[in-house]
Structure 1
């Protein structure tokens, strides 16, 4: 639904179909199931990112929960958004780890949170127009496509190969395709709240098939303690403190892309709740909360965070908009991270299962970039638009990197984004229709 934003920016009256408004507390009997829905909505995607990047899923759950609570504090408890692991950072984290090790990549990930904070400061002082002009749809759309398509070999490799021998395996490919089929079926045919967790259904189905195929070893689960401290990786404490300029240039600039996704999520959430969160409590507070959560995650060994569209979907269907429910989900996620048996169980999920799910998820990321170009009416019949999109796609998917010695490397995604921004600024014919005001649909007056 569209919100009727008042000229003074104040929140409009709540829609009549709201079950629980933002500041309303649920009853004790309803609180747990309502929060559990959000936990399940974010669970599959949040544990998939650390699984692919070599980080701890338990730490990701903890940093997701704490990061969400921190976000709620930064936004004065006025935005019911949940923060989970960001898919946009998968490839950069893998590349950064290869260059600077886990600690070096985590430092760079924490600095991506600093990018959020800097952008939040400029939005607070100068408004949002400068950011929208810097990152219009003609730049952001193809960059998002590059993020998804550059991950395609990762998904296919996990689906096709036995992780022990690194060789092709028909069994593993069969499990991956079965997982993919169930995930697609759940996406297409499930309704209501169940439609929001197709990834979880796919993982469960693939995991069950893997057990039948003898690919799962439960010995670690049986021997795992009920409660266990997550394997936090704190740069400078658990390992040498490494600062790599190359890793920073590969990972940190990706924040500029995820910030545009953040903008879109805030607009959708504003429409769902009947408010304008860009005005009150303000986009700068929302981005600040996201940045602080991401910086904290990096310093504890978790992947960068981002607001989750899955949880926005739960709010849209249930009409339960209470920030107390979101906070309850954050507490549950944090507690789950300290369950040793849960952590051990996650670690037993075969790579083929995650590969099957990833074949859909990474494609969806790429398709969302294409959808942005279509929805925002980017005219590829115009030479300047065609040039910008073409160059970004080839540089991003082709993995062009800029290296000046072993200590300085700009990754393909960061370089493609930078080149796209420059081309958009210098090529002639940049009119109002091409500027960034249409990264997201404006809230209707």
Structure 2
């Protein structure tokens, strides 16, 4: 860590400011472009909306919170599901509504505090949902890692070897490397897997999976591709239920960032402002055709390591991201990344998401000796990972469908609200009543 801490409102000299901002771009770049790469969206648009979203967030939080906003992994599964069934424009419409939902929750928190959020979404529910989010994406990672088509067919040992090397590089870098490189193992893994594929492809035709023609055909400068949203009730409900978990995740991220910066962002500028900033940034991103945004732990890690907590630095990173989005060769180069490379890093990344859910449960002290907690987690995990779905016909051509993460979140919230505080206590009371009944007889 650097000896001198640069505070949230301090602006470094331009000679340090630019490289410090570029460092943040490297930290967020791999994850921000991975989401559109996995969901079929435009990487350059994701970069653009990430930068715009971060600047909006800084504005709404009065320039006091040095967070960087990138593409949210929690919405990968909903984007894939909704895009496949309704079309990608409806995924953007649902994402826009998520941003509005965040903002409404922020207004309620400002008025009544956040105690009701803790009651609605305790750690046992949030942690279990996060586990489901990570594990439901596992087949996506394995499909890219093992198969030529990225689906269930076309098994390829070549693809698997590339994914294995990529995963090994990412894992080793997260354990062995020190300093800045320790917080960007995903990016290191992508670069390493890409170089491995390129070198192997130069000698073995089966490994020739990189096509540079898309780069040569790309214009030197253009406006990012924008897709405007459409709206339908089922996609909106699907995204809203996942959003309940990401709101709770936002509260935790903001607390961690506050600890790193040694400030209480819950009070100044207020958790309602940070959540509103996240929400409005997500709605704006959806209007331009970008994935939902979220505060990035990668960039928090950079702040913790460097001691640079400046809003000016994260704002500078946002400007760099916007500039990169207008350079088509950047997006074209990202498209050349082979599917098994993305599959290898996804195997680690999606596992990290699931592990974050386990960590949420563990650090909050959830007691699985209580059958209430055990019941809630069990049902959420089975319904979510098992792909449970409710399909209710509305008319001959239209049906209501709710499944996967969204259904698991809905059921988990309902169970948390209706189950008695302790099923163990109820069992003890029932046993005592049975004994008393026998005595009375």
- Length-normalised TM-score, structure 1: 0.90
- Distance in 1 (alpha carbons) for counterparts of 2:239 and 2:412: 17
- Distance in 2 (alpha carbons) for counterparts of 1:197 and 1:360: 12
TM-fit CA distance, 1:271: 0.8
Find the counterpart in structure 2 of residue 226 from structure 1: 220
Kept after mapping to 1: 8 A contact 2:150/2:339: no
- Distance in 2 (alpha carbons) for counterparts of 1:246 and 1:422: 19
Quick one: which of 53, 78, 81 aligns to 2:67? 81
Quick one: which of 169, 172, 182 aligns to 1:195? 182
Find the counterpart in structure 1 of residue 415 from structure 2: 423
Relative to structure 2, which stretch is displaced further, 369-378 or 184-193?
A: 369-378
Q: State the number of aligned residues.
A: 410
1:175-223 Cα distance to aligned partner (Å, 9 max, x none): 0110000000110111111111111110011111221221101111122
Kept after mapping to 2: 8 A contact 1:186/1:195: yes
Q: How does 1:40-79 map to 2 (within 5 A)?
A: 40-79=26-65
Counterparts in 2 of 1:183 and 1:45: CA distance versus 1, 3 Å: same
Structure 1 runs of 4+ aligned residues shifted over 2 Å read 16-19, 163-166
Find the counterpart in structure 2 of residue 7 from structure 1: none
Quick one: which of 90, 98, 116 aligns to 1:112? 98
- Distance in 2 (alpha carbons) for counterparts of 1:386 and 1:361: 26
Quick one: which of 390, 395, 404 aligns to 1:412? 404
- Distance in 2 (alpha carbons) for counterparts of 1:323 and 1:373: 31
TM-fit CA distance, 1:252: 2.6
- Distance in 2 (alpha carbons) for counterparts of 1:321 and 1:164: 40
**Which blocks of at least 5 consecutive residues in structure 2 are unaligned?**
202-207, 424-441
- Distance in 1 (alpha carbons) for counterparts of 2:233 and 2:40: 21
The higher radius of gyration belongs to 2
TM-fit CA distance, 1:411: 2.6
Kept after mapping to 1: 8 A contact 2:74/2:133: yes
Find the counterpart in structure 1 of residue 112 from structure 2: 126
Find the counterpart in structure 2 of residue 321 from structure 1: 309
- Distance in 1 (alpha carbons) for counterparts of 2:16 and 2:255: 28
1:105-146 Cα distance to aligned partner (Å, 9 max, x none): 110111111111111011011001010111001111111000
Find the counterpart in structure 2 of residue 435 from structure 1: none
Find the counterpart in structure 1 of residue 87 from structure 2: 101
Find the counterpart in structure 2 of residue 174 from structure 1: 161
TM-fit CA distance, 1:17: 5.8
1:202-254 Cα distance to aligned partner (Å, 9 max, x none): 0011111221221101111122222122111123xxxxxx3222211222321
Kept after mapping to 2: 8 A contact 1:112/1:253: no
TM-fit CA distance, 1:71: 0.2
Find the counterpart in structure 1 of residue 210 from structure 2: 216
TM-fit CA distance, 1:412: 1.9
- Distance in 1 (alpha carbons) for counterparts of 2:339 and 2:149: 7
1:15-47 Cα distance to aligned partner (Å, 9 max, x none): x96521111111011111100111000000000
TM-fit CA distance, 1:414: 1.7
- Distance in 1 (alpha carbons) for counterparts of 2:325 and 2:240: 26
Kept after mapping to 2: 8 A contact 1:99/1:247: no
1:403-436 Cα distance to aligned partner (Å, 9 max, x none): 22234222321221121111112211259xxxxx
1:135-169 Cα distance to aligned partner (Å, 9 max, x none): 00111111100000000000000111113895111
TM-fit CA distance, 1:298: 1.0
Quick one: which of 266, 278, 285 aligns to 2:254? 266
